[in-house]
Structures are given as structure tokens and as C-alpha cells.
Amino acid sequence: MATTPRRRAARIRVGRMRDGWYSARNDSVAVEEPMEVRLEVPGEGGAREHPVSVTMRTPGDDFELAAGFLFTEGVVTDPHALGDVRYCRDVDPQEYNVVTASLREPGAFDPASLTRNFYVTSSCGVCGKASLESVEVMGCRAVPDGTLAVADADVRALPQRLRSAQRVFDRTGGLHAAGLFDASGSIALVREDVGRHNAVDKVVGSLVLSAGLPGSERGLVVSGRSSFEILQKAAMAGFPMVVAVGAPSSLAVTFARRFNMTLVGFAKSDGYNIYSGPERVTGLGSETE
């Protein structure tokens, strides 16, 4: 299931204004292209393809993105049910912008999940309580206690460790990142994308394709803020802890508390905020206002 390398950064001509001087120069920008995800479901009359979603993404790790999206959005709730993942060969010249994932058995897919997926990820007219209940319908459960503990010093070091692994960001300055870390704070996997959610789906998808779920002994670190969708995807993968460089939303905090997850925000070398599950961070002081 190897993917074909694609451009993740493009060279363009830009005008640059610095200290009152204008000059023209070449620069790099992050590539953004659409990717359609299709699901191939076997049946008595032959396999049938279901269009699932179109997302704007940075090319690369496309099979992970498709697998992660299908799982974290509850379209396919059993990660072992996914079989072959491939580029679609009948859509030239968009071959590498259409990915088809096949199911091993037809019973692993409920067509109603496509409607539910839209409902869960839409913020239009959907209250927080309904969103949380919909995630439970998808099969997401609270994370068990005692699954992960990370030292305070390692939590503070995670943002820089993530940043050091952002290769395309170094060239473009325009990508989000998500990383997978263990109890020692070591980051084993980093994925970049123009979309925060896509970066997370690529990380989760790598575990789906390698039979590495649930991720109960891993944590997720993200370069931006933590929203409801980020927490949803982390919980579907079984991650007990989410560390974000940016701020959380109110629904992300509510989600973390309801699903027994540790949520850290505003993480940097000199400190951070813990919004839920402080017991998973070791070495904390005891000052309380």
C-alpha cells in the first residue's frame, strides 16, 4: 500500500517588503489539493463504491488520511475491517487525488454513518450535548484509568519536539502537525497537513493500517488549538492524553472530562494549562488558588 510521492511544497515568485525595501524572490508555499475518499463495499452483486467525503489536504500519507478519516468519523468502526487502500485508476488526471478503501466484509459499513458523520462534524445548529451523544453512538467510550502517565518536564518539552520534526513547515511556515508520543515523551510519528484534522487523521490512520489500535499507551500532541473534533478523533483512537500548543474550546474541555481524557493546552517550555485529567501528569506541584 505504498503511496506515490507528491509535492508537499511549491516554489512561487513573491514580492517581499522588509525595512522599507521591496524585492522579488522565490519562496515555498504548502501545497493544498482536494482528495476524495471512497469506500468500496463487497456485495452479492459485486463491490459497490460509496463516495464519502472530499477534503482539502497537503498531498502525502494519503492512505493514512483516508483510513484515519473513515475510522475517526465512525464510517468504519472496526479498524480491522479495512482491507486494501489505493488510488483510483479511472479518474485520470486526478488519479492521485482520489483514494478508495475497501472493506473486507459488507457488514462493517452502515450507510447511515455517512449522514451521522455530517451531523457530528457540523457545528451548524447542533448543540454540544447532541454532539457528545452522537460520538457515543459511534462506539466511542471513556478512556480507562491508568493507561498513560507522562512527567511534567516531558509535557513541557513536547511542543519543541514536535516542532523539530516539522520538515515541510521549515520550508513553508504553513502547515499544522500532529504527533504520537509515549510515556517518556518521545515522539515516534509526526504528520503534517494544511488541515489540523487531517494531520490527526494521518496519525490515527497510520495506526489503523499497522493494526496499532487502540492507542491506550500513546498520547497525541497537536501544533494548534484543540477543538471538539480533535478530541473526538483522539478518543476514537483510544488516546488518553491530548497536548495542544494552542487553546481548547469549551466543548473540547467538556468532551475530555466526559470521556476521562487528559487535556493540556497552551503548552510551552515554561508551563501549560491542564483542563482535565491532571493525574496523568507526574511531578506536579500542589499550589492551588
Q: For the sheet containing 241-244, what is the strand order?
A: 187-193, 176-181, 219-222, 241-244, 262-268, 271-276
Question: Do 110 and 190 reside in the same domain of the chain?
Answer: no
* Residue 101 cell numbers, joined: 478503501
Q: Is residue 4 classed as helix, strand or coil in its secondary structure? A: coil
- Among 88, 124, 127, 140, which one carries the catalytic annotation? 124
- Residue 217 predicted with pLDDT over 70: yes
Tell me whether residue 144 is in a domain. no
CB atoms within 10 A of CB 144: 11
Q: Could you tell me the pTM of the whole model?
A: 0.88
- Look at residues 137, 158, 193 and tell me which one is the last residue of a structural domain: 137
Give the separation between CA 143 and CA 235, rounded to whole angstroms: 7
In this structure, what CATH number is given to the domain that contains residue 101? 3.10.20.10
> Do residue 43 and residue 159 come from a single domain?
no
Average pLDDT estimate for 253-274 = 96
Question: CA 231 to CA 263: how far, in whole Å?
Answer: 9
Q: Could you tell me if residue 244 is inside a domain?
A: yes
127 versus 215: which is more confidently predicted? 215
Residues 180 and 69 in one domain: no
Q: Are residues 243 and 268 in the same domain?
A: yes
Do 133 and 183 reside in the same domain of the chain? no
Residue-wise pLDDT for 99-139, tens only, equals: 999 999 877 777 766 765 544 444 444 456 666 777 776 77
Contact 158, 188 (CB under 8 A): no
Domain presence at residue 171 = yes
Return the CATH number at 182: 3.40.140.10
Position 39 scores a pLDDT of 93
- Do 124 and 178 sit in the same domain of this protein? no
| Longest Cα separation, the chain | 70
How much is the average pLDDT of 56-70? 94
| 19 located within any domain | no
Least confident range from 124-133, 159-168, 241-250: namely 124-133
Residues 271 and 189 in one domain: yes
pLDDT digits (tens, 9 = 90+) for 29-53: 888 899 999 999 987 778 888 889 8
**Residues whose CB is less than 8 angstroms from the CB of residue 86 and which lie 6 or more positions away in sequence, other chains included:** 1, 63, 99, 100, 102
Identify the H or E element spanning 23: strand 21-30
Q: For residue 16, is it within any domain?
A: no
What pLDDT does 10 receive? 82
CA distance 68 to 267: 25
- Rounded average pLDDT over 170-184: 86
Let me know how long the chain is. Answer: 289
Are both 208 and 128 inside the same structural domain?
A: no
pLDDT at 129: 61
Helix H or strand E segment including 253: helix 250-258
- Shared domain for 175 and 104, answered yes or no, is no
For the segment 48-71, the average pLDDT, to the nearest whole number, is 93
Together in a domain, 72 and 182? no
Domain boundary pick from 105, 137, 169: 137
Instruction: Give per-residue pLDDT as tens, 74-101.
Output: 889 899 999 999 998 776 667 789 999 9
Average pLDDT of the residues in 186-198 = 93
pLDDT of residue 169: 65
Q: How far apart are CA 80 and CA 68, in angstroms?
A: 12
Is residue 124 part of the annotated active site? The answer reads yes
| Residue where a domain stops, chosen among 78, 107, 137 | 137
Better-predicted residue by pLDDT, 288 or 7: 7
Specify if 6 maps to a domain: no
Centre a 10 Å sphere on the Cβ of residue 107 and count the other Cβ atoms it contains. Answer: 11
12 within a domain of the structure (yes/no): no
Q: Residue 159 above 90 pLDDT?
A: yes
Give the mean model confidence (pLDDT) for residues 252-261: 95
Q: What is the DSSP string of 146-169?
A: TS--EEHHHHHHHHHHHHHT-HHH
Q: What is the pLDDT of residue 123?
A: 41
Q: What is the mean pLDDT of the chain?
A: 86
Grid-cell match 451521522, residue found: 116
Q: In terms of domains, do 195 and 234 share one? A: yes
- Residue 194: pLDDT over 80: yes
Q: In 51-176, where does DSSP find H-type helix? A: 62-72, 112-121, 128-137, 152-164, 167-172
pLDDT at 285: 74
In which domain, by residue range, is 223 found?
Answer: 150-282
How many structural domains are present in the chain?
Answer: 2
- Sequence-distant (6+) residues with CB within 8 A of 149 are 183, 280, 281, 282
Q: Do 218 and 272 reside in the same domain of the chain?
A: yes
Residue 11 included in any domain = no
Give the cell for residue 16: 517581499
